[in-house]
Chain A
Amino acid sequence: MKSIQLSQVTKSFGVHDVIRPLDLEIEAGQFTVFVGPSGCGKSTLLRLIAGLEETTAGQIDIGGRDVTRLPPVDRDVAMVFQSYALYPHMSVGENIAFGLKIAGMPKAERVAKARETAATLKLEGLFDRKPKALSGGQRQRVAIGRAIVKNPSIFLFDEPLSNLDAELRVQMRQELVRLHQEVKATMIYVTHDQVEAMTMAEKIVVLRAGEIEQVGSPLELYENPRNMFVAGFIGSPKMNFLKGQVVACDNEAREISLDAFEGRKIQVSAKRGVGPLAVGQSVKVGVRPQHFQVDPDGPLSVTTSTIEALGNLTYLYADMGSDQLLCVETRGPGFRVGDALRLSVNPAEALIFDETGLRV
């Protein structure tokens, strides 16, 4: 269990900056998730920590020791790859024991350790099988076994579940969380799936274009996103963003007229405001689907264009022009495509962002 400290870490491939100067601290024993869209640099950041890529500038400390120029084996880390990267010519046992073999452990000892690890991952019966004779979930377990057997202080997971089907993914997600509780190691998990991030993380690091957008606990990011990117990325279905102008604002409430609704006005509580607002300023109001109410007296009128009935919940979608869909969460049946509805917004839950996307 060790902490990780990144100080002004930079990575460029040629002229292309993949990681901009970046500072980050990960506490010992924490389950941290790096999340962001494709190409945001999350995998590169993980590989920098693993030692599979060299930093262009900056320093990486693991457990208080500068490891910036050390090879992976000297960093006390183990990595699980998205593709599993099992050695195809080796059996499950040999795959698990390979790191120990390289470290020079005698055969009897490493086989015993590999067997023990295989048993904890329910792979005993498959010990002598080759990877090609395993299912996706079993291969993933072997890949995890290969990491566990080394007993590292830090586990690094690079989108390890993205090749599994939905059901298995949910199951493996829980197994990984349990693994974290058992081995109590520091874990970093990279994913582009915000649901994985929300369900597994103690701390989420949201990345975009090689920069950290926000760091915090899942609920912190959900409740208090710093900008529109984080607000839109965390939460499913996505937060709705409505363009408008500030009509009035005081210490209690802010009144916004919305462009897509012929200037109809909504009230937003000032309690969740974080910055100053001026009358006449262009803003975007962020409203999560569950913070709309179907309300005959509501100020906003929409026509449903698609309905997704999930049983416990129903999502109503309405066209707002320019390819934008408004998503509203409701309960119960009784809605039809083409219904004209009136909506109101829960003033305590809506967030306001300025034109640059920063929360105000």
Chain B
Amino acid sequence: MNTRKPADQLMRAVLWLFAILTVAPFALLVLTSLKSREDLLAGAFVLPARPHFENYVSAWVDGLFGTYFLNSVIVVVPVIVLSVVLGTLCGFAFAFLKLPGKPLLFGMLLVGMMVPTEAFIIPLYYEFRWLGLINTYWALILPQVGMSIPFVTLFMTSAMRQLPKDLVDAAVADGASPFRVLRYVIVPLLGPAASTMTLFLFIWTWNEFMIPLILVQDDARRTLPIGMLFFQGKYTIDIPILTAGAVITLLPIIIVYFFFQRKFIQGLTAGAVK
């Protein structure tokens, strides 16, 4: 049934164009990662005679992507857990508790979000050297948590302010302490907000470049993006293995994105009021 208006069709064409522009480089990346070096010389768009999965094995073992991958996971999990837990507690304080100097503190959080990493990376390096934490996982986790908390706090504050105020009042009238209001009433309703935050933090932390580049020099502690950088230096010529490493770096983000995208988007507060 083709009764769509021309304007709709034009819109579809534009959307398709952008979709192709977005997906094509990634498809090319995957294609290249399955070629041999000889296949590569035949042209970028030529299909290989057979898929060369050994490129992935080489990247994982020889290119140390296995180590980098594990390091990325070791960093990203505590960053997400700590940031979401601490950001939720801060958000609750901003949304519901009486706090002296609330506007000032809120302003400071905003400033914390606005300062770029480049502006504080040198003092941060000296601080971590003084603490003896250079080349440790802490050097990768702690600054990342510090940078994430302002955003999580702002996000959670606004998510909590959108909850019906009566729910909190009802829990208070039922005798719940602030902590229990948070634990039993607010947190269970913040599923969508928390999963959005988890997704954001995962992508940011997984892709973080500057902090691991400066605070970690030991190959055994490097995360995937930094691993990619140094791998590139060593194996510039071996493009198929390099692209296999790139796919290893990208794939978790795509998987996590699909997982959290599908998880509860709405409907959790349905039936609360009215």
Binding site for B on A (CB under 8 A): 47, 50-52, 71-73, 77-79, 81-89, 98-99, 102-103, 130-134, 136, 139, 146, 150, 163
Contacts and interface: CB of A to CB of B under 8 A. Distances in A.
B172 interface: yes
Given A52-B169, A88-B268, A89-B189, A83 B273 contact: yes
Given A81-B166, A83-B274, A52 B172 contact: yes
A85 B169 contact: yes
B126 interface: no
Contact of B271 (A81, A88, A103, A150): A88
A139 B271 contact: yes
A84 B274 contact: yes
A136 B267 CA distance: 17
A99 B272 contact: no
Contacts of B175: 72-73, 99, 102-103
Interface string B175-204: 110001000110011000000000000000
B173 A89 contact: no
B271 A72 contact: no
A85 B271 CA distance: 9
A51 B78 CA distance: 40
Contacts of A52: 169, 172-173
Contact of B173 (A79, A130, A134, A163): A79
A134 B271 CA distance: 8
| 6 nearest CB pairs, A to B | A132-B271, A73-B175, A83-B273, A131-B271, A85-B166, A99-B174
B177 to A, nearest CB: 8
A98 B173 CA distance: 11
Given A86-B271, A131-B272, A98 B189 contact: no
B185 A87 contact: yes
10 contacts: A72-B172, A72-B175, A73-B175, A84-B166, A85-B164, A85-B272, A86-B170, A88-B272, A89-B189, A131-B272
Interface of B: 164, 166-167, 169-176, 180, 184-185, 188-189, 267-274
A88 B184 contact: no
Contacts of A72: 172-173, 175
Contacts of A130: 271
Nearest to B163: A88
A146 B174 contact: yes
B210 to A, nearest CB: 40
A268 B40 CA distance: 108
A341 B176 CA distance: 64
A139 B274 CA distance: 8
A103 B268 CA distance: 26
B173 to A, nearest CB: 5
A85 B175 CA distance: 15
A130 B271 CA distance: 8
A78 B171 contact: no
Contacts of A77: 173
Nearest to B167: A85
Nearest to B272: A88
A326 B84 CA distance: 64
Contacts of B166: 81-85
Contacts of B170: 79, 81, 85-87, 146
Contact of A81 (B169, B176, B268): B169
B174 A88 contact: no
A102 B180 contact: yes
A103 B172 CA distance: 12
A79 B185 CA distance: 17
Contacts of B271: 86, 88, 130-134, 139
Contacts of B169: 47, 52, 79, 81, 85
Nearest to A53: B169
B171 to A, nearest CB: 7
Given A85-B169, A98-B171, 16 more contacts: A50-B173, A51-B173, A52-B169, A52-B173, A79-B170, A79-B173, A83-B164, A83-B272, A84-B272, A87-B167, A87-B184, A103-B175, A131-B272, A133-B271, A134-B271, A146-B174
B176 A102 contact: yes
Nearest to A156: B173
B172 to A, nearest CB: 6
Contacts of B176: 102
Nearest to B185: A87
A88 B189 contact: yes
Contacts of A103: 175
A134 B272 CA distance: 11
A95 to B, nearest CB: 9
A272 B232 CA distance: 100
A189 to B, nearest CB: 16
A44 B180 CA distance: 25
B3 to A, nearest CB: 37
Contacts of A99: 174-175
A322 B222 CA distance: 82
A102 B174 contact: yes
A71 B174 CA distance: 10
Given A52-B169, A81-B169, A87-B185, A98 B272 contact: no
A146 B173 CA distance: 11
B269 A88 contact: yes
Contacts of B180: 102
A88 B267 CA distance: 10
B173 A78 contact: yes
Given A52-B172, A79-B173, A83-B273, A98 B164 contact: no
B188 A89 contact: yes
A71 B171 CA distance: 12
Nearest to A84: B273
Nearest to A99: B174
